[in-house]
Structure 1
Amino acid sequence: MRKSHEIIELPAFRYSARLCHNEDGNDSWQLCEGLNGPDMDLYYRELVVLMQTQVASQSEMDVPALSDQTLKNRISTLHSFLAFHGKTVDSAVGKELLSRFDASLKAYSESLTVSSHSKSDRRSHLRAWRKAADSLLHENRRIKPAEKTNSEVSPFHLALRAALATTGDAPKTIAKRAGASTTALARWLKGAVPNRRAFPSVRRLERELGLEAGTLESLIPAVKKALVNSASVGAGSQIDYRIRLARNIRDIYYIQEDALSADFLTEWNAFFAYKTDKRTTLARNPGGTWRLQSGEKQAKLPSAHAWRNGLCCPTAQKNLDKFRSFFGFLARPREDGGYGVSADAAQSLAWFASRDAVNAYLEFMRARSGGLVHGGHAAFAALTAGLLSANTGFVTQQPTLIERLPPGTLNTGWANACLETRQLAKEWLTDATDVSRRPEEPIQSLLDMSEPLAPLFRAVELLDREAASAAPGSPLEATLKRDALALSIVLANPLRLRNLVTMTWRPNNSGSLYRREDGQWRIRFGPQDFKNDRKAIKGAYDAPLPRSLGQRIEEYLDEFRPRLLRANPKADWLFPNDESGRWKSLNKQFFRLTRRLIPQTPGFGPHAIRHLVATDYLRKHPNDFLTVSQLLHDKLETVLSEYAHLRQDDAFAKYEIHLRGVMAS
């Protein structure tokens, strides 16, 4: 039986209806319900106006008055609900508030990581919006043509909507704070996909929403496809780490910073003070303190929770991220591999005393890493062991924290629970010997070459050619010249990402890049710029650049860099981004450049270049580890450990010479 559908306007019906003509030979018509009928011709802004009249308590509306705060709360919930469904207040009222309201309300409520009381309040707010819609629809009985919707929502749109839904602010407000296009964000919520020109806006939204870098960008279909497939481009094999990363980044489970509970933030502030104050009431390991730094020295600025008295603490941010991940696992439903406690109950450092919870989280991490027990396990296990130290552990010294745990969580007293969990953490720490991300994987095809650095020099030449083909005086020309100089400097002085991002130049010669009277350009950093890296030499860095780079540097500083700083001419960053600010996405740009210009690789960043430089040099100068230590500004023991395999190669090369001598005798 085949049916055709003709939409008939029936003003007496509250919801849309269709009359279906039966074409099986029976000339009858029947009312067919539930066939994805049209939505009402009503817009959310009309509902907001109706609510505002209740605040004004206009007598002709015959509605009870509302307080300003109640209206604000309801509007905040509406923004959150609409963002979850990919809409804004400029959208038409659809099935999410009408025929499918109950299902929509349930799905939205389950997505929230707030207290049960807050969820109840939001459900109450949304029922008020539903009642307002019913009121206007009953009054006007309007019907509009069915709106077109995407039958399949991509992971990017789901993640974006979920992130916006947690804020309670209007998408336009968030876009303005992030410096992104309000119209573009509205299009993305409706199903549009950001193009490459919009990627910087996506990254700014990530920062504004408190998401980890790449959380949204990696889910954009084109980027997601590249992450999964790039390892096979020219390299001949896929990189397991990147495949796992692309998969895991779509499964966001950690607690968002704006969803952290007031009770936990009280604990966090006390822990932050314990780690940074000169004197504390709790016992503290002499080496267990965190250092506060100027934000100008950071490649990526920490969130507001990692600042004190105008100074930031990257170590605090790293630890807070570990807490958020642990709490997110605890609040994750058991059917999804989590621990199944409420979001509020999960947010306490007291859980570090629970042997079962800590072990379950480490097993969860192992499952997500394909069975590997790697450095991430080691970092969390070390954090746990420190918190539970017998005499100086922050958690151990506060037995009242047990009150934050659900009854029956611990099977023993506080001191014994801390001791048992600490022993467990040490066992995991011992077992964490696997390597999840191998720096040589993306550059293996280059390491197999006799001259592995040659493709990088060719990449610089290609950038120069592209710049020559660009419009003279254009931003594109300046950007290409910036990238060419950055790549040239990393080849000459294989610095860490943080140093590259924070590198400065000033006309008075006081920046990181400076020139001596003899014309030689040099790079310098103070000891404080390396203190957070356990592998680095802790002394000052003052190294020369090849004289062959002199003309390139001067040309860039005189002609190209000023174009990049038009919007911020007083900025002293050597490598500004396209918006005249700090080039925080430098690592990603290196990845894109190398993937595009060195097709035999899937793309890599400055850290891989450091590995490439060290390996190439040691192959040609066996056992000269001291020179590599100076080139990388790494401790000698670090270099000996990282490149021990080359010592083995040298040993077998010498043994081969020995065998030849034996055979010739």
Structure 2
Amino acid sequence: METLKVSGSEPLDKFFAPSNWGDTRAKLRFKAQDKWANKSTLRAHLSRITKINELATELLDQGFMSDDGADWEYLTALEKIRQKIADRKIKSWSELERKANGQKSSYVGHLFSKKRKYLPNYSKRIEQRLEQLCVFLELDWGIMRPMLIKDGARRPVSKKLKPSGFSYYLKFENWPPTLQQSVNDIERFHMRMTPGQLPDGTPKLRNKKSQWKIRESDGKCSSKGSFHNLLGSFFGFCVLPSDKKVSEKLVLARLKTTLVKWQEEDFDQYVSWMTGEGRNAAELSISLLFDFDLIERWLQWLANRNGGIAETQPGYCLSLSGLTNPKTGAISQSYEIACQVMGFPPLSGPILRTEENELFQKRIREWSDFCGRASAEFRSLQHSFSSSKVKKKKRVSSRHSKILEIKDPLVPVQTMIERLHRSEPRHLDKNSQSWMVWARNMTLLELTVSNPIRADNLHCLNFCEDGSGRLRKTGDVFQIYLEKHEVKNPHKEKDYGYLGIVSPSASSWLNFYIQSVRPHWPTGISMDERLFLTDSGNKLSNIDLWKIFVTVSRLYLPEYSELNPHVYRHIVATSWLKNHPDDFVTVSLILGDRIETVMKDYAHLASSDGFSRYHKLLENWRGRTPPTMGGK
């Protein structure tokens, strides 16, 4: 096959050499603006990739891509966008931005520029501009999805629906007058109320700037805005239609008006996300907050709408628990709200007679006891949702479920390191930058597999000849020593934070890197300050370390999702537990973490792992076969 060229002077094999350390998509997207093709116009930026399908076929032959992988989707999407832009004879990103969005800046161009190799997290501004770009170019929104999702920009489901008109919030102006009055009373109480006291009994001094402001929520007062956000979500769920047929009509009407073309197979999900309690908005009141079954259905509905992730629910429960606190809660101090909830008669005037005062005090005690039980119930709901899928790192682990579910997750990692080892640029001089980058990456991977410490500790490693650094040498073996304040979960009974012996294989690579590679790195930074450096010789940061690991895994392990430095901790822990069941102590020592944390966050064991071990025990029993059906 003839060697394809990306430019007039760069052949494909050099373009995809390991020294570039860029993943397939990043190369095709950003290499066109390197020093040998440094032009700012859009046409010059994209016309370098004139044979996108031929390049993809070549990459398939080299094993960098799969037929049904996201890389192929990305190349196809990029070619379609390039062709649409070329048909309109647009010469620059700023011109495209101006015609598509009516903006003078080149904001969309920055998303695909060389300086940003990974798209940022979703925001409403980015979403709107990309939608307008798709509409302007007459492209389906699905064209953008393989470009955005693969770069770690997947949003929670509930946020994804907002640009499409699927917002369910009930705004303050649509609340009934009685509900508005109750909410205003709660806000005024917060302004008058003292902020509490310190543990020793000393009253706190309220900062005037932090007081709630008595005005309608205009988006500028964060305290009042967050309170309205809670109530708007709850009452919005209450007024959503309970009949699914009505919800189907509502979803169909909104799908017709949206700019984005969503997949038809997701229609049933939209219907469930827009199905609520079916209550009349005029009948809403603050007393609904004490319907705990309704509150629990609302919180669970939020979790289902957000892909099974509970993020805002614990905070909502804590807010409601504080509002109903029998001593300091705004709701528990309001007799008007007590009348709505408990059915007490309203006060017609001042209490003069003794019997009326006693009856009033009795009602206050009943209301206070009721609010105390309600506050405890909200606390219980908060704990139940906090123990579910709350943390975002659970979502990160789910992206790597494919590699964590196999029999030994370390096997693909060893395969990736072996592929990287075979890609050594032997034709280059040992003092060349590309060869030293390869040696650095090999050392980093070997060290991470041997000692899967956190990325915050890995990129800060230093080596001192007097043995005072975080990386220390004793004979031919290295050790990693971290102080107690440098680790996340140190053991209280130990004087240090982490002390780990490096494996012989990783020690040999460290010894080779320190003696033969690091002294030739073109920089003025000594190993006493930082052991590992960037390609340009600067101190390695957490982000730089993340890019190195993700790039290497995308290039040399395309069968799985990209592996960032923290995933190696999960891989090592799961691999050891699958080969040594119930040995959580060893995993705790390897990771430098508590046993409870290992059991909670790092033990990615499926029920099949337990059944396979249990069934081996049953094999020792005498087997019983069922009778045949052919006889009498």
TM (normalized to structure 1)? Answer: 0.45
Q: Which structure's relative contact order is higher, taking Cα pairs within 8 Å and 6+ residues apart?
A: 2
With the length of structure 2 as denominator, give the TM-score of the two structures. 0.47
